[in-house]
Amino acid sequence: MNANNIADPVQLALSFLERVWGPSHDLNAIDELMTEDYTITTGGATITGRNEFKEWVRTFQQKLADAITVSHETIRSEAGDRVISRWICSGKNNGIFGLPADGRNVAFTGIAIWSVRDNRLAACWVERSALELYQKIKHDHS
């Protein structure tokens, strides 16, 4: 795929983070920014399909109230068909990772690697510091 046929992957990724993971939590932006067969692989699981992804985000945002993700660095591949973002997600613990909800502020870091197809985000692979946050919350509740 030639880079001229690809939307700016950095702008796609930043728009996704701002609109879906920003204060507005605009889940309808997923329909605009992601392909219909969008997949995300995170935490050892793969979510397939835009609607399934939207439901996954909705559920996650319920467990991490007021969730906000801020990109600290984005890198575009030379071909323009990939973008990598290093980010921090924060919010209030409302039962994240199945732990007791206590309403306190929590945060974790992550890296997302997206592929771009047809001027939309098509797939994502996410690595996040979920284990470290889980251990911290669990330890604090012990």
Tell me the pLDDT band of 5, cut-offs 50, 70 and 90.
very low
Location of structure tokens 């690697």: 113
pLDDT digits (tens, 9 = 90+) for 7-43: 689 999 999 999 999 999 999 999 999 999 999 999 8
Secondary structure letter of residue 27 according to DSSP: T
User: Would you state the pLDDT for residue 7?
Assistant: 67
Q: 59 phi and psi, to 5 degrees?
A: -65, -45
Exposed, middle or buried: residue 26 (CB in 10 Å: 0-12, 13-18, 19+)?
middle
Over pLDDT 70: what percentage of the chain? 94
CA-nearest of 91, 80, 141, 139 to 115 is: 80
Mean pLDDT on 86-108: 94
pLDDT at 57 over 60: yes
Tell me the pLDDT band of 117, cut-offs 50, 70 and 90.
very high
84: domain CATH number is 3.10.450.50
**Tally of structural domains, the chain:** 1
User: Would you state the pLDDT for residue 141?
Assistant: 73
Q: Tell me the average pLDDT of the chain.
A: 91
52, two tokens: 């399934």
7, two tokens: 């939307």
32, two tokens: 């605009």
Domain residues for the domain of 44 are: 3-141
pLDDT at 1 over 50: no
Over pLDDT 90: what percentage of the chain? 78
Close Cβ partners of 139 (under 8 Å, ≥ 6 residues apart): none
